[in-house]
Structure 1
């Protein structure tokens, strides 16, 4: 299963972090001087951000009546992301605020286009950064002036003042410059899942092409050549021609069987006609160990879910045949609320894992691409239990 993206820090974490902050310091140590430096830098940084936001957004708004207005706004949002990156780096260096960087936009590195423009315009990280830079100018003036006056007039209480103002800055950075945990994680997951789906589809197409080229296509070519030779011998050597036709008839049967096997690998007819129970019973008969199939499904799920469930069980049973050394196996399929659950067990020697070479990781990635789950429990010595979970969707 695809590993989840790292969790980032949010404004909701601020209270917990604040409890871990050291108490107000009376000495002018390194932490205090870093906070003072940050507060003095607030004015030039907030002025830079304010000018950037007002200028670029105003120009983009005016030019929305032309073809360059929307692309310019998108460029403004991309620039805001860079300003946010700079501010997070400043907060880490001077305030000790550990804020994770947001994930790249899903279209990064995939070329320009309407989708890229639209994803940029919807980017919540960039919009929050624009808001941060817009509201920071009054705060930057206040913190700069207060810190400067305290340096020359209120020296004894400067550590208190610096710590209080810096804590407000910490809260603002966490609240507006932190990536939104759930949204950012979901974007990363969807981008990863889309890549899995594309790679899987490409691999399946290559497999079908290879099977056709090496199997049925080669047999049909040989069949055509054999029938051509038989036609030439039909008059001068009827017995030889008859033998060649008989051989060609055998080739036709083998080609038909290979095409049936290939079609079954794409989408078996029994799954379409009779459902998951019958299809799993059919695939179980091809396993080299006895398999007991139990399906408790009140109705049939959507064809896409049925297909994923079928091919998941089919590959797991192939793994049992090839790698497990098992004597018996079982397949259980049932519905629990809005989920379709599958458990495949065998009494083999165990040791299966997602890092092994038996295709487990590929199954986990395929199920993860449709919001499914894939769990392997296979201690050394066995038994092995693989649990797969898919979202249930009713047939249209």
Structure 2
């Protein structure tokens, strides 16, 4: 009997299958990688020797208005580890500067006080100035230029007016930007909803180069990098995480050079080959990335990449926050997925709907694959409304999947759908 525990919220669920039914396990090598030193030592070393950049201390000297863009509560960036180190170095180099943490929510909701405490710890929340980005607040935005694709680049004025803008984040495969990290701190992180929508337009998302692990020729990535340069993002600290969300790599410095080094590191660890299967079981790596269906789509794309047309996806994600966005929910629930995807592709970039991009990818998946969502914490009627079949347990989902395939079921297991780049 094959048995494997996979992440679910802050816990784990067990997959049990007969050995002969398992086509393969698509697992990156992040958990096998042995880091050289503690998490803190890796970060300190990266900051001591940045890629193609002066040190953070050199950049901070003489500055009066320093802004640190930080990922929000939906990302597993270990800010309790990274942020104290960044802030200590900044305060020592520029003791008289105003230093603000700008939380890069993109189009997500604002973080709660409890989520900020969980992310940064009590001391930083109590003593540092933390500002939530709100993409829909037009009065808080300024235009800084034009994207290569032609859209206006509008970002949070706090970021645009800083005399030193830096960012912390992490690098993992991203389902249409290629990889996360670096330039995503600006777009979508602290950009206007109008700029985000333009960059995430249906044509770009449909482009065959807008896929996990692909940067070269990726139109989404191109616009994002241009926005970061226009914003004068001067320095990044990006980390790479293992399955326990601990730092195994740290890359600091220039937004392109440090990001490229980090992406190469991730690509070497995350690359896996597709297997011949008709059912794929995937997760979103547990909390915080499986908090809602919107985020869970990312894990589904890994399953999509290894399945034939019509193959069944079993997505294990708690989705305690529900669908993750009213616009996203309506886009999927109020029509036929295939028709919605086609409409997204044809829609002009400046008419992109709110939350269209993830809904477009989800619609693409639903048009070609039955999806079973394993969750005992999410409204099952809502799951059904979004064209999926709910299951309370993994065993229940496996039994359902067997009824949906022709012949014998062959299962691919993807313990962390966000941690792999699947190649055929």
**TM class, shorter-length:** under 0.3
Bigger RCO (CA 8 Å, 6+ sep): 2
Larger Rg, first or second structure (1 or 2): 1
When the two structures are superposed, what TM-score results if normalisation uses the length of structure 2?
A: 0.21
